[in-house]
Structure 1
Amino acid sequence: MACRSATLLLLALLLFYIAQASSDARIEEQDTHMEVVKGPNRRLLPFVDCGRLCKVRCSLHSRPNVCTRACGTCCARCNCVPPGTSGNREVCGRCYTDMKTHGNKPKCP
């Protein structure tokens, strides 16, 4: 009888730990996704290294600090930086091309 109780107790503990582990795994998975989710429309976006890409984009600009700051803002909002040092803005889509300054000039370099 004691052996049967011990076996049942071990089985119950084993089931408890399995349930706890699967619950923890689901919580970690949710936390991971919540870190990746960005923007008001709550969609998953790939990681873009804005600093490095904007430094390349603005390397030949006459005012590289101003360019890099504007590029960083555009990259953070649109999650994209066009290739090259100028042009190719259409690669990033409407988010990048349609962003304007307060003076109604294109914001993104």
Structure 2
Amino acid sequence: MARYLISFNDGAMDHIPAEDFPDVGKAAHAVTQEAVTAGVWVYGGGLERQQASIVATDGTVTDGPFPETREVIGGLTVIDVPTREEALEWAAKIAVACRCAQEVRELMPDPETDAMLREAASRG
């Protein structure tokens, strides 16, 4: 199985009238429940509209994102599925529910971290 990040840009849902947001929320929660039931859900959520903080390698904290950044993530979902095609199918469901296009990217596998998580889970 591979993990995929499905995301949309901040502002991608700005075209939705305020009175439609309860329906969008219900649709998004329905897709989330479907993914949980299917056993592919890892994590998801929206990001607050606020200025990000950038932490440099020396620990210096500055406000961001940088002015040259044109797009920032507004919401994300992480799923664990066997193929890219299945990830695209879930992204299509999310796009319909959220009424905005979704970007799909495969996350790089990290067997060492996965082993640490399995070990921690087995210790309970």
TM-score, with length taken from structure 2: 0.26
Higher relative contact order (CA 8 A, sep 6+): 2
TM-score, with length taken from structure 1: 0.28
Structure with greater helix percent: 1
Which structure has the larger Rg over C-alpha atoms? 1
